[in-house]
Structure 1
Amino acid sequence: MEILIINSGSSSLKYQLVDSTTGEAKAKGVADRIGIDGSFVKYVAVKNGKEVEVKKEQPIPNHEVAMDIVTTLLTDPEVGVIKNPEDIKAIGHRTVHGGEKFVQPTIITDEVIAEIERLIPISPLHNPASLEGIRAAQKLFTKATHVGVFDTAFHQTMPARAYRYAIPNEYYEKYGLRSYGFHGTSHKFVDAEARKYLNNPYLKNITIHLGNGASMAAVNQEGKCIDTSMGLTPLDGLIMGTRSGQLDPSVVFFLVEQLGLSLDQVKNLLNKKSGMIGLTGYSDARDVAALYRSGDANAALCYEMYGYRVRKFIGAYTAALNGVDSIVFTAGLGEHDALTRSFACKEMEFFGIKLDEKKNEELNHPTKPVEIQAADSRVKILIIPTNEEWQIAKEVVGLVK
Structure 2
Amino acid sequence: MSRVLVVNAGSSSLKYQLREHGDGSAEVLAKGTVERIGSSDVPDHAAALARVMDALQDGPGLDGLAGVGHRVVQGGTRYTDPTVVDDDVERGIDELSALAPLHNPPQLAAIRALRRALPDVPQVAVFDTAFHATIPARAATYAVDAEVARRYGLRKYGFHGTSVQVVTKRAAAFLGVPVERCDLVVAHVGNGVSVTAVQGGRSVDTTMGLTPLAGAAMGTRSGDVDPAIVMTLVREAGMTAAEVDDLLNKRSGLKGLAGESDVRAVQARADAGDDAARAALEVYCYRLSAAVGSFLALVPRVQAVVFTAGVGENAAAVRAAVCAPLEHLGFGVDPGLNGAAQTPGSPAQPVRIGEKVVVVPTDEEAEIADQVLAVVTP
Partner of 1:332: 310
Q: Does 1:23 align with 2:26?
A: yes
Distance of 2:26 and 2:111 partners within structure 1 = 22
CA deviation after TM superposition for structure 1 residue 365, in Å? 2.5
Distance of 2:343 and 2:370 partners within structure 1 = 24
Which amino acid in 2 is paired with 1:384? V
Query: Which residue, out of 123, 129, 138, partners 2:106?
Result: 129
Structure 2 portions without partners, runs of 5+: none
Per-residue CA shift, 1:307-329, capped at 9, x if unaligned? 11111112211122134210110
CA deviation after TM superposition for structure 1 residue 389, in Å? 0.2
Q: Does 1:370 align with 2:373?
A: no
Aligned 1:1-400 pairs, distance under 5 A:
1-21=2-22, 22-36=25-39, 59-76=41-58, 80-82=59-61, 85=62, 87-201=64-178, 202-220=181-199, 222-366=200-344, 367-373=348-354, 377=355, 380-400=356-376
Distance of 2:27 and 2:148 partners within structure 1 = 44
Partner of 1:51: none
Distance of 2:256 and 2:189 partners within structure 1 = 18
Secondary structure at 1:20 match in 2: strand
User: Conserved in 1, the CA contact under 8 Å of 2:207 and 2:216?
Assistant: yes
Secondary structure at 1:372 match in 2: strand
CA deviation after TM superposition for structure 1 residue 139, in Å? 1.4
Distance of 1:13 and 1:183 partners within structure 2 = 18
Taking structure 1 as the reference length, what is the TM-score of the superposition? 0.90
Partner of 1:44: none
Distance of 1:293 and 1:349 partners within structure 2 = 23
Distance of 1:349 and 1:274 partners within structure 2 = 29
Alignment root-mean-square deviation, CA: 1.2
CA deviation after TM superposition for structure 1 residue 204, in Å? 1.5
Secondary structure at 2:276 match in 1: helix
Secondary structure at 1:89 match in 2: strand
Decide whether aligned partners of structure 1 residues 137 and 339 sit closer, same or farther in structure 2, where only a CA change above 3 A counts.
Answer: same
Per-residue CA shift, 1:374-401, capped at 9, x if unaligned? xxx4xx2111110000000001101111
Aligned residues: 369
Distance of 2:126 and 2:82 partners within structure 1 = 5
**Range with bigger deviation, 228-237 or 304-313:** 304-313
CA deviation after TM superposition for structure 1 residue 86, in Å? 5.4
Which amino acid in 1 is paired with 2:10? G
Taking every aligned residue pair, what percent have the same amino acid on both sides?
Answer: 43
CA deviation after TM superposition for structure 1 residue 172, in Å? 2.6
Distance of 2:142 and 2:188 partners within structure 1 = 23
Which amino acid in 2 is paired with 1:95? V
CA deviation after TM superposition for structure 1 residue 122, in Å? 1.1
Distance of 2:349 and 2:374 partners within structure 1 = 24
Which amino acid in 2 is paired with 1:395? Q
Per-residue CA shift, 1:261-289, capped at 9, x if unaligned? 11111100110110011011111111111
Distance of 1:100 and 1:324 partners within structure 2 = 28
User: Conserved in 2, the CA contact under 8 Å of 1:218 and 1:227?
Assistant: yes
Which amino acid in 1 is paired with 2:222? S
User: Conserved in 1, the CA contact under 8 Å of 2:194 and 2:207?
Assistant: yes
User: Conserved in 2, the CA contact under 8 Å of 1:86 and 1:143?
Assistant: no
User: Conserved in 1, the CA contact under 8 Å of 2:184 and 2:304?
Assistant: yes
Distance of 1:330 and 1:267 partners within structure 2 = 27
Secondary structure at 2:284 match in 1: helix
CA deviation after TM superposition for structure 1 residue 358, in Å? 1.1
Distance of 1:12 and 1:296 partners within structure 2 = 34
Distance of 1:169 and 1:32 partners within structure 2 = 42
**Range with bigger deviation, 382-391 or 114-123:** 114-123
Secondary structure at 2:325 match in 1: coil
Which amino acid in 1 is paired with 2:163? S
Distance of 1:137 and 1:314 partners within structure 2 = 40
Which amino acid in 1 is paired with 2:353? I
CA deviation after TM superposition for structure 1 residue 23, in Å? 3.2
User: Conserved in 2, the CA contact under 8 Å of 1:307 and 1:345?
Assistant: no
Structure 1 portions without partners, runs of 5+: 38-58
Decide whether aligned partners of structure 1 residues 387 and 23 sit closer, same or farther in structure 2, where only a CA change above 3 A counts.
Answer: farther
Secondary structure at 1:23 match in 2: strand
